Amino acid sequence: MGKRVIVIGGGIVGLSCAYYLQKQGHQPIVIDKSEMNAGASYVNAGYLTPSHIIPLASPGMMAKGIKWMFNSSSPFYMKPRLDMDFIRWAWYFNTSSTRAHVEKAIPLIKDINLLSKELYTEMHDSGEMGDFHLEKRGLLMLFKTPGEGNHEREVMNRAIDQGLEARELTADELGKLQPGLSPEIRGAIHYECDAHSSPDEIMERLKAYLLKAGVLFHKGEAVERFITDGEVVKAAVTEKGSYEADEIVLASGSWSQQLAKKLNIKLEVQPGKGYRINVSRPTPVTIPAILMEAKVAVTPMRGFTRFAGTMELSGINHKIRPERVRAIAKAASDYYVDFEVKPEEMDQAQCGLRPVSPDGLPYIGRTSKYRNLAIATGHAMMGWSLGPATGKLIAELIDGQKTSMALDGFHPERRF
């Protein structure tokens, strides 16, 4: 008989954990404080990105954060505040932003992204959730300045060294692949290894599949405390009830640090707010792209085009900053000729909170404090891309199997 597993968190990571756990004969129960219809899993760019091999914590990022600290429309905004959790996280982020860390992280990020892309493909090809949107057309990195171009060429060469498909496009090739670009664009790198999807569609289909498979959802229930007995977490307690379990999976995204504290576990996570604008009318966009100087992601999804971006470290809140929305809209018109995001489209912008670890790598694994607790969070901007891989790895861990890849680099108790 399978184990009864409480999965705390109903985003792509939590639902992926439930998906693979039920596949292996276990009985997952998903608890989420929201109604499971909004947040980072619904507002992201929908990328599957083996190409994103450089972690957020890399040389120069802290300097950029400090430079942009007092510009609330900047791509990477850290709101100044006297918050000890944030100050400690920022210190660890700074100490992690080294070349040595980047070198160690590159193969880890590549391998888990490739695993996740393969698993998305398996989900799609199985037909279990219908013909959901999944395209393998790659990702363009569009640049206007020599500096950004040189930087991305370095990343491209590292990606090629790792066996990933990538190349720099000629002007003619770029024009054929993506017409309607601004003449100010100097060039593009095409990461052919990448893919894209429509997150809202997949989330709805995944929830429907899990419900049909007998997975229980407890929506609108915040976990208030845990019942423990020595090295075992016996139950998760919400305002509506106590849920006993053989195993607990903490997959609560940006809220994971707060919940970990209830178990006397230190988990360094800061919420990184991202925004999205949906445009449900014809646009010039034919292929996913990142507008490099603006740090804006553009994705042609099923039925609309999404413009997404920014990393805002301002604590747990869902306040929409109009200046950040305007910055995304401006980038769209700066890179695509004869296109503008309309005011009413900006008015419908939404945001989501991405859980960011200090070194830019996710937490996947067990802690030494409790033998039946697994952690699955801290994915930063790669949460959507890494959801299925994280779910499979957690299910393998709970099932006592050899995991599909080594988890040492993702250990929740690693040092920064």
DSSP 405: S
Report pLDDT for 415. Answer: 92
List, in sequence order, every beta strand (DSSP E) within 112-203: 134-135, 139-143, 166-168, 187-191, 195-197
Write a three-state SS string for 342-398.
CHHHHHCCEEEEEEECCCCCCEEEECCCCCCEEEEECEHHHHHHHHHHHHHHHHHHH
CA distances from 130 to 14, 123, 134, 337 (A): 21, 9, 11, 36
Structure tokens at 226: 């845990």
Q: Is 102:54 a contact under the CB 8 Å cutoff?
A: yes
CA distances from 163 to 50, 101, 412 (A): 10, 20, 28
pLDDT given at position 395? 98
Angle between helices 383-399 and 12-23 (to 10 degrees): 30
* Tally of CB atoms within 10 A around 176: 11
Please state, in angstroms and rounded to a whole number, the distance separating the CA atoms of residues 373 and 146. 48
Distance of CA 32 to the CA centre of its chain: 18
Tens of pLDDT along the chain (416 residues) come to 799 999 999 999 999 999 999 999 999 999 999 999 999 999 999 999 999 999 998 998 877 777 776 777 888 888 888 899 999 999 999 999 999 999 999 999 999 999 999 999 999 999 999 999 999 999 999 999 999 999 999 999 999 999 999 999 999 999 999 999 999 999 999 999 999 999 999 999 999 999 999 999 999 999 999 999 999 999 999 999 999 999 999 999 999 999 999 999 999 999 999 999 999 999 999 999 999 999 999 999 999 999 999 899 999 999 999 999 999 999 999 999 999 999 999 999 999 999 999 999 999 999 999 999 999 999 999 999 999 999 999 999 999 999 999 999 999 999 99
**Cβ neighbours of residue 406 under 8 Å, at least 6 residues apart?**
none
Sheet holding 363-366, edge to edge: 216-218, 27-31, 4-8, 247-250, 373-377, 363-366
| The pair of three-digit structure tokens given for residue 180, joined into one six-digit string | 């309607």
**What is the b/e burial string over 304-340, where b = at least 16 CB atoms within 10 angstroms of the residue's CB?**
bbbbbbbbbbbbeeeeebeebbebbbebbebbbeebe
Query: Which residues on neighbouring strands pair with residue 376, listed in sequence order?
Result: 364
Separation of alpha carbons 199 and 73, rounded Å: 25
Distance CA 352, CA 126 (A): 30
pLDDT at 84: 94
Phi, psi of 109 (to 5 degrees): -65, -45
Residue 66: CA atoms inside 13 Å, Cβ hemisphere, count?
9
Gap between the Cα atoms of 154 and 189, Å rounded: 11
Sign of the C-alpha dihedral computed for residues 304, 381, 264 and 93 taken in this order = negative
Domain edges within the chain: 4-410
Place of tokens 């709805």: 204
Query: Burial level of 100, CB count in 10 A (0-12/13-18/19+)?
Result: exposed
Instruction: Assign 275 to helix, strand or coil.
Output: strand
According to the model, what pLDDT value does residue 60 have?
86
What pLDDT is stored for residue 411 in this prediction?
A: 98
Contact (CB, 8 A) for 252 and 272: no
Q: Are 336 and 285 in contact (CB under 8 A)?
A: yes
Pick the CATH number of 4-410 from 3.30.450.40, 3.40.50.720, 3.50.50.60, 3.30.1120.10: 3.50.50.60
Q: How far apart are CA 184 and CA 88, in angstroms?
A: 41
pLDDT at 184: 97
What distance in Å separates the CA atoms of residue 364 and residue 66, rounded to the nearest whole number? 30
* CA-angle at 394, arms to 51 and 18, nearest 5°: 100
